[in-house]
Amino acid sequence: MAKQYATRTIRNYMQDMRFLFSHYYDLLPCSISQQDIINYISFIIKEHGVGREKCHQVAQSCSFYYKHVYPSAFIVPSAFYPRKTHKLPQVFSVAQIQQLLAVISNQKHLMVVSLFYGSGVRMNELRKIKLTDIDSESYQLKVVAGKGGKDRFTILPKDLLEPLRTYFKSYRPKTYLFEGQRAGAPMHERSIQHFLQLYITKIGLGGKDYSAHTLRHSFATHLLDAGTDIHTIKELLGHSNLDTTMIYLHLQQSKRSAIVSPFDRVMQHKI
């Protein structure tokens, strides 16, 4: 592709448009209006319970199609985007992270979960980590072609280096750090999601919106609690905009726990 869209993005765009056209099976693509698209997004919210992220993806797919594939002067992309909500993401507490790691007996699974939390990488970034991306001398992990096609460095936990070496000796991956059943191919996303949910359920948090991405949120929030500045966290996470990183200020525990309520101050000085 001339614009160098990721394979996953192309696949998602094609799938979203197929679903849209199937929904309006009695209409030609050129006859689907802006209001039809808005109605479709409302439909998948109501009938399938999809979240804002999925709605945004569908809106982007429609926007791309009616801008580049079948240009339409009547389609205004911004009208497709659902109103932004301000729901804060779930975050594991430090104690919950300890519980989670304690229930994982599978060596490979333990390394996957540990690296998610220890480095703050995204799902697709973790899957694509190659052996050559690990800098054991500087304790850095190179993320190649992360979101937006950008390279960056993040933390390689010092206490994880030896366990990773032990894991390597046991599994002998060829190219990627975490490979699936086929040598030289990265572990499948569904496989990771499946075993992670089993462990999350094991510690009593199943069905509560905890996922692999929660480990990334926890990484950022716990760094902030430990005094790491927000700009450094932004770079480690690979965010393009600082506003995206600022959400972790709302999740920060250390400053809130140090705040004394005015009610408590009054009671302390009660005669």
Residues annotated catalytic, as ranges: 122, 147, 213, 216, 239, 248
- Alpha carbon distance 179, 187 (integer Å): 4
Cβ atoms of 106 and 100 closer than 8 Å: no
Cβ atoms of 244 and 235 closer than 8 Å: no
Q: Which amino acid is at 72?
A: S
Cβ atoms of 128 and 144 closer than 8 Å: yes
Question: In Å, what is the CA distance from 215 to each residue of 138, 206, 226, 236?
Answer: 23, 14, 16, 14
Q: Which amino acid is at 206?
A: G
Cβ atoms of 88 and 247 closer than 8 Å: yes
Cβ atoms of 147 and 8 closer than 8 Å: no
Number of C-beta neighbours around residue 143 at 10 A: 24
- Alpha carbon distance 177, 221 (integer Å): 26
Backbone dihedral angles phi then psi of residue 105, each to the nearest 5 degrees? -95, -25
**Strand arrangement of the beta sheet that strand 152-155 belongs to:** 134-135, 140-143, 152-155
Largest CA distance in the chain: 78
What are the residues facing 130 on neighbouring strands? Answer: 176
